[in-house]
């Protein structure tokens, strides 16, 4: 292959210092905030020109595509940092290209299968609304691009090309979609949700192809394993799949946690409460994404240190990450405590009722930061299967928490259920990391 980062994986490098980590995480978080702002502008424009049913079609279609993209990548993205470190440290520097070739091929096959099921299901399933059929078709249109953005973004991050890993999905795609929506408004003076969804799929596809081109240094075809000598041994493939598939549950829990939580709470909250809770959750998860971004930024350094059995360096990397995330989450909690009611008031006077709910959700993010990158460390050390009971129990607790607390406390009850999950999931994972591999990720 032509990509120096692919055919010749970069050597074990100096880990990101605290300043560099803060600078890189600031870039990523800034892109996430900018992307979220662009998304809000898109939603405002759609709300002006289209009905609530059409906006629901937009969210349901993109949500289906996002969820299925996690399934179709089979958990491979979580393994990329570990394989990159093994490839750089070992004698076989073709290990990473071979892994990525297999991951891309498996992802492509699953995307084709899922795409066929969505289209056939949309045509043949009886007693479903036409809007639901349309949602399945548009989800099929977006699915392959979403999946490959997820997979190739993980590779770019493992190679410390963070601008290539994060920016296309977080900032470029919503910016392009906003420009398209504005063009519809200014030049055609009409808005069609079908046109917006088709444009979203087309934009995502173009960005995904461009990202693949960049990360393979202009040789995307051979990156699917067509080049001579790029086919991995069957035993390697079996090992990769066996380690990756259990991570799908973790990816679904982490990647679509907001959607999962809102769907569960909707059975217990009325429409207005669901809207308020959704806004509070989205605000809190901006901080959650910042924590996740920092944990993502240290994956390659942690993998390199683990590969070299430098446990002192691993602990230093984790301490630096925890210092950044905990300080940021505490500052964010203090700001919400002081100005949270005013912030919610920007969405409407009735949203101020969610102030207590928002505080609990922000506290959940502080706890997540205090627990450290336990899940990521378990994955890097091949202990990912130990995460399965953690996420399974967390989902059950989320449902039971809503069942028990929402009738009693309303909005705060839904937030309390999330808070309990954020006590169980991160700290149970931290306990497992300490027990299984002797690395303490939590501050407590």
The candidate with the shortest Cα–Cα distance to 387, out of 430, 420, 439, 417, is: 430
Answer with the residue of higher pLDDT: 5 or 259: 259
Let me know whether 69 and 211 are in one domain.
Answer: yes
Let me know whether 184 and 277 are in one domain.
Answer: no
Let me know whether 223 and 336 are in one domain.
Answer: no
For residue 119, pLDDT beyond 50: yes
Last residue of a domain, one of 245, 272, 292: 245
The secondary element (H helix, E strand) that includes residue 104 is helix 95-124
pLDDT reported for residue 9: 44
For residue 375, pLDDT beyond 70: yes
pLDDT reported for residue 10: 45
Question: Containing domain of residue 138, as a range?
Answer: 1-245
Let me know whether 46 and 122 are in one domain.
Answer: yes
Let me know whether 250 and 130 are in one domain.
Answer: no
Let me know whether 114 and 221 are in one domain.
Answer: yes
Let me know whether 286 and 401 are in one domain.
Answer: yes
Last residue of a domain, one of 220, 245, 270: 245
Last residue of a domain, one of 245, 262, 277: 245
For residue 291, pLDDT beyond 70: yes
- Chain centroid offset of residue 349 CA: 31
Let me know whether 353 and 420 are in one domain.
Answer: yes
Let me know whether 211 and 352 are in one domain.
Answer: no
pLDDT reported for residue 2: 38
Answer with the residue of higher pLDDT: 390 or 222: 390
CA separation, residue 415 to residues 131, 264, 278, 362 (Å): 31, 12, 10, 10
Let me know whether 198 and 225 are in one domain.
Answer: yes
Burial of 191 (C-beta count, 10 Å sphere; 0-12/13-18/19+)? middle
Answer with the residue of higher pLDDT: 259 or 215: 215
To the question of pTM greater than 0.75 for the whole model, the response is: no
The crossing angle, in degrees rounded to 10, of helices 18-49 and 271-297 is: 150
Domain count, the chain: 2
Let me know whether 209 and 252 are in one domain.
Answer: no
pLDDT reported for residue 84: 84
Which CB contacts under 8 angstroms, 24+ apart, belong to 313-319?
313/15, 314/377, 314/439, 315/439, 315/440, 316/15, 317/15, 317/16, 318/372, 318/373, 318/377, 318/439, 318/441
pLDDT band at 26 (very low <50, low <70, confident <90, very high): low
Beta-sheet strands, E only, within 295-399: none
Mean pLDDT, residues 382-407 taken together: 85
Let me know whether 204 and 314 are in one domain.
Answer: no
């Amino acid at each position: 292959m032509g990509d120096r980062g692919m055919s010749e994986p970069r050597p074990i490098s100096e880990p990101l210092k605290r300043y560099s980590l803060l600078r890189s995480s600031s870039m990523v978080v800034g892109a996430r905030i900018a992307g979220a702002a662009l998304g809000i502008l898109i939603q405002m424009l759609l709300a002006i020109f289209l009905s609530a049913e059409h906006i629901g079609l937009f969210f349901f279609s993109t949500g289906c595509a996002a969820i299925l993209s996690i399934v179709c990548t089979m958990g491979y993205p979580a393994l990329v940092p570990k394989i990159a470190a093994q490839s750089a440290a070992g004698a076989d520097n073709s290990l990473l290209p071979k892994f990525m070739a297999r991951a891309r091929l498996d992802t492509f096959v699953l995307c084709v299968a899922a795409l066929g099921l969505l289209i056939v299901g949309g045509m043949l399933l009886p007693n479903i609304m036409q809007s639901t059929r349309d949602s399945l078709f548009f989800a099929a249109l977006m699915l392959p691009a979403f999946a490959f953005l997820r997979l190739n973004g993980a590779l770019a991050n493992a190679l410390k090309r963070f601008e290539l890993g994060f920016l296309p999905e977080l900032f470029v795609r919503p910016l392009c979609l906003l420009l398209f929506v504005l063009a519809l408004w200014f030049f055609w003076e009409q808005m069609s949700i079908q046109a917006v969804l088709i444009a979203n799929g087309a934009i995502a596809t173009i960005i995904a192809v461009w990202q693949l081109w960049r990360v393979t240094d202009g040789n995307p075809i051979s990156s699917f394993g067509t080049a001579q000598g790029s086919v991995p041994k069957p035993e390697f493939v079996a090992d990769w799949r066996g380690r990756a598939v259990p991570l799908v549950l973790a990816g679904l829990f982490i990647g679509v946690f907001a959607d999962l939580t809102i769907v569960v709470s909707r059975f217990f909250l009325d429409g207005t409460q669901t809207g308020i809770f959704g806004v509070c959750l989205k605000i809190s998860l901006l901080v959650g994404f910042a924590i996740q971004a920092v944990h993502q930024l240290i994956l390659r350094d942690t993998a390199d240190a683990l590969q070299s059995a430098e446990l002192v360096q691993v602990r230093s990397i984790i301490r630096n990450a925890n210092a950044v995330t905990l300080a940021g989450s505490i500052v964010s909690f203090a700001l919400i405590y002081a100005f949270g009611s005013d912030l919610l008031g920007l969405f409407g006077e009735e949203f101020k009722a969610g102030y207590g709910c928002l505080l609990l959700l922000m506290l959940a993010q502080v706890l997540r930061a205090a627990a450290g990158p336990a899940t990521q460390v378990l994955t890097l050390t091949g202990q990912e299967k130990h995460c399965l009971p953690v996420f399974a129990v967390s989902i059950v607790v989320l449902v039971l928490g809503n069942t028990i607390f929402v009738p009693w406390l309303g909005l705060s009850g839904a937030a309390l259920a999330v808070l309990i999950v954020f006590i169980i999931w991160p700290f149970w994972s931290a306990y497992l990391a300490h027990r299984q591999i002797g690395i303490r990720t939590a501050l407590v």
